[in-house]
């Protein structure tokens, strides 16, 4: 497990906003972002990461890594700015190889002075891609964290290695919150053929949720991730049950989502939370708004794929973009 350190900082946002120490910050943006294969350039003999090396199919080198980190840093610093002038305080991420690339990311020019830290565990995923939680240590205090293994099996009964569920308990502006960061199995082998894996992932999240609620009945729980399923899918319905609210349900349309496949929009990237975030008279930690971050910097601007996420690779072809997913975010208000 790796928990990074970060320094205390002060920020300036807009010309009409004075320098603040943000002790009285009331709006908090929480985001999720699939970073599309944020690998280092070193071949790990224990992982299938050969593609992302200087001699691999992607010809992945330090120059490309540095460019991607710089672009990701710029995007992360901008998420939700149209709804909240403050930078995101929590960002769940997927498809990161290790703590090395996360250190590079939080120390990128756009993020370095914002005091980001992260929680990360190496998962058993065959390709070596993990989830992590990036957070602003000035505002979010880690109380505990663990990687919860997803015990999946193939139809033949063999272990099916995938990403862990990252479970973090922390305090945001004095409010205790439980965060689960997920990256569920893909549909690469077929949607119907792999549906059972995502349903099992939902069930394992529910086991964690049930345990939390048995010890803390009114717990505030946020579940985020790349679920590789849309809001109406059986797996997401099972995850939500009756005690969660999914603000992403209304965001998926024929013309908008967080990622595309063969011309069809999907909203695999979601932030879901317990119903108590919807009760302003009972809870000082209240949901305000959720959206997809699809500013010009993350969108293809012309050609056949205009409007799609500006990805880093299309197969083995290097495009130089940011990610094949848009970030999603939710804004919360905390009365202090």
The phi, psi pair for 318, rounded to 5°, reads: -80, 120
Contact 148, 43 (CB under 8 A): no
Least-confidence region, from 152-166, 236-250, 273-287:
152-166
Indicate if the pLDDT at residue 7 is higher than 70. Answer: no
For 174-238, give the DSSP string: TEEEEEEEEE---STT-HHHHHHHHHHHHHHHHHHHHHHHHH-TT--EEEEEE-SS-TTSHHHHH
Residues 144-152: what's their mean pLDDT? 93
Residues 236-245: what's their mean pLDDT? 97
Least-confidence region, from 23-32, 70-79, 143-152, 263-272:
23-32
Indicate if the pLDDT at residue 6 is higher than 60. Answer: no
Q: DSSP assignment, residue 39? A: -
* Predicted TM-score (pTM) of this structure: 0.93
Per-residue pLDDT tens for 107-124? 999 999 999 999 999 999
Mean pLDDT rounded to a whole number for the chain:
92
Indicate if the pLDDT at residue 10 is higher than 50. Answer: no
- Tell me the three-class secondary structure of 5-29, residue by residue: CCCCCCECCCCCCCCECCCCCCEEE
Residues 178-182: what's their mean pLDDT? 98
Q: Is 112 helix (H, G, I), strand (E, B) or coil?
A: helix
Place 24 in a pLDDT band, splitting at 50, 70 and 90. Answer: low
Q: Is 66 helix (H, G, I), strand (E, B) or coil?
A: helix
Indicate if the pLDDT at residue 221 is higher than 50. Answer: yes
Indicate if the pLDDT at residue 291 is higher than 80. Answer: yes
> Considering only CA atoms, which of 7, 40, 38 is closest in space to residue 107?
7
d(CA 10, CA 8): 7
Residues 283-298: what's their mean pLDDT? 96
Residue 19 confidence (pLDDT): 36
Indicate if the pLDDT at residue 281 is higher than 50. Answer: yes
Residue 227 confidence (pLDDT): 98
Residue 335 confidence (pLDDT): 85
- Burial category of 317 from C-beta neighbours within 10 Å (exposed 0-12, middle 13-18, buried 19 and up): exposed
Per-residue pLDDT tens for 40-64? 999 999 999 999 999 999 999 999 9
- Burial category of 14 from C-beta neighbours within 10 Å (exposed 0-12, middle 13-18, buried 19 and up): exposed
Place 156 in a pLDDT band, splitting at 50, 70 and 90. Answer: confident
Per-residue pLDDT tens for 318-334? 999 999 999 999 999 99
Which one has a higher pLDDT value, 188 or 234? 234
Element (H, E) at 139: none
Q: Which residues of 83-122 are buried (b: 16+ CB within 10 A; e: fewer)?
A: bbbbbbbbbbbbbbbbbebbebbbebebbeebbbbbbbbb
Pairing verdict, β 175-183 and 221-226: parallel
Find where tokens 């009756």 sit. Answer: 242
Pairing verdict, β 130-136 and 116-120: antiparallel
Residue 164 confidence (pLDDT): 96
Per-residue pLDDT tens for 60-102? 999 999 999 999 999 999 999 999 999 999 999 999 999 999 9
Residue 200 confidence (pLDDT): 95
Indicate if the pLDDT at residue 308 is higher than 70. Answer: yes
Place 14 in a pLDDT band, splitting at 50, 70 and 90. Answer: very low
d(CA 246, CA 238): 12
Residue 252 confidence (pLDDT): 97
């Amino acid at each position: 497990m790796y928990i990074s350190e970060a320094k205390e900082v002060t920020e300036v946002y807009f010309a009409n906003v004075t320098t603040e120490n943000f002790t009285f910050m009331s709006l908090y943006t929480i985001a999720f972002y699939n970073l599309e294969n944020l690998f280092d350039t070193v071949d790990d003999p224990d992982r299938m990461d050969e593609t992302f090396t200087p001699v691999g199919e992607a010809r992945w080198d330090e120059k490309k890594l540095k460019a991607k980190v710089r672009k990701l840093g710029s995007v992360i610093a901008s998420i939700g700015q149209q709804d909240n002038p403050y930078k995101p305080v929590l960002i769940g991420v997927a498809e990161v190889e290790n703590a090395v690339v996360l250190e590079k990311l939080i120390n990128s020019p756009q993020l370095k002075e914002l005091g980001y830290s992260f929680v990360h565990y190496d998962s058993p995923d065959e390709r070596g891609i993990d989830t992590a939680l990036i957070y602003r240590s000035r505002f979010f205090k880690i109380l505990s964290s663990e990687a919860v293994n997803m015990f999946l099996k193939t139809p033949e009964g063999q272990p099916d290695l995938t990403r862990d569920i990252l479970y973090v308990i922390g305090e945001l502006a004095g409010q205790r919150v439980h965060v689960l960061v997920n990256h569920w199995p893909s549909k690469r082998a077929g949607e119907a053929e792999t549906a059972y894996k995502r349903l099992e992932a939902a069930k394992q999240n529910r086991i964690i949720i049930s345990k939390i609620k048995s010890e803390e009945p009114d717990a505030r729980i946020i579940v985020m991730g790349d679920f590789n399923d849309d809001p109406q899918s059986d797996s997401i319905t099972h995850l939500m049950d009756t005690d969660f609210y999914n603000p992403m349900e209304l965001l998926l349309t024929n013309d908008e989502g967080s990622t595309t496949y063969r011309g069809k929009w999907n909203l695999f990237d979601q932030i879901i939370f317990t119903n108590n975030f919807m009760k302003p008279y009972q809870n000082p930690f209240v949901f305000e708004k959720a959206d997809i971050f699809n500013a010009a910097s993350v969108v293809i601007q012309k050609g056949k794929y205009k409007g799609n996420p500006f990805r880093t690779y299309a197969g083995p072809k290097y495009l130089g973009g940011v990610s094949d997913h848009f970030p999603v975010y939710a804004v919360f208000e905390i009365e202090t």
